[in-house]
Amino acid sequence: MKVMRNKFGTKLSPGNSLVLLARLSRWFKENKGIDIVHYYSCNDVAHRHGDFIKASDLHRCEICSSNLYAKREEAGNFLQDSDMYFSQKKHMVLVDGSGKLHYTCYKVNSCFKGVGYECTPVMDSERSQTVPDLYTLLEVDREKLSEEDLIHFDNMNEEIYKSFLKPLLQKWMNSDIRKGNMMKFMTEFDTCLTRCRPFFEEDAFEAFKNKLLILLGFLI
């Protein structure tokens, strides 16, 4: 079973509300031009010493700009003077179509109200999981490609995305991968990577592989 944890060591639970996903997707698309394809919730509060936390692990809500952590200095019998501890608040982790992570408060609807965003009813057509297209996944603007690069990415789209990447993401992106189906997943994942490998330089291929692992729920 996939168990994702953040830098505070707390478990991230896959989001299963298509209505909430649609609302998040709509807000991020309208305000940041970003396609949100999945989300996780962190339902636990956790504490870590500052020595074990990086500044990049401390996030703000991307909707209302509230801190998703609190910091405090403690002194006493068990701690040295001015030891800094950070407390992680409950929050949401969102994944966009290129595999990048975004963060919001746990009570997202309160954030929407706080910034004056009206949550209109979600249409039936919005109640679905979305799989990023090749250009979104690779963060490529098709309109800005040279003729040579356009041919390259169009070949990728035909040869690997439609036949291997898209089916892999559609099948496994929101699936609960357990011991019983892990071997099947790994076989399909390795086959997909083998097909994709010739289209990338070494560094770019590792970055691409990590994008897939984030979208499939193995990395945060």
Segment 41-70 mean pLDDT: 87
pLDDT value at 33 more than 80 = yes
Looking at residue 142, its pLDDT comes to 87
User: Over the stretch 92-111, which tens digit does the pLDDT of each residue have?
Assistant: 999 999 989 999 999 999 99
Segment 56-84 mean pLDDT: 74
Looking at residue 67, its pLDDT comes to 93
pLDDT value at 156 more than 70 = yes
pLDDT: is 20 or 175 the higher one? 20
Closest CA to 109 of 101, 119, 95, 124: 119
State the pLDDT confidence band at 129, using cuts at 50, 70 and 90.
Answer: low
SS (H, E, C) 97-153: CCCCEEEEECCHHHHHHHCCCCCCCCCHHHCCCCCCCHHHHCCCCHHHCCHHHHHHH
Looking at residue 60, its pLDDT comes to 94
Q: 26 vs 52, 109, 126, 165, 217, CA distance in Å?
A: 35, 13, 9, 25, 22
Looking at residue 83, its pLDDT comes to 63
User: Over the stretch 60-71, which tens digit does the pLDDT of each residue have?
Assistant: 999 999 999 888
% pLDDT > 70, the chain: 88
Alpha-carbon span 4 to 12, nearest angstrom = 5
Q: Contact at 8 Å (CB) between 173 and 129? A: yes
Q: 185 vs 22, 96, 190, 198, CA distance in Å?
A: 27, 22, 9, 21
State the pLDDT confidence band at 38, using cuts at 50, 70 and 90.
Answer: confident
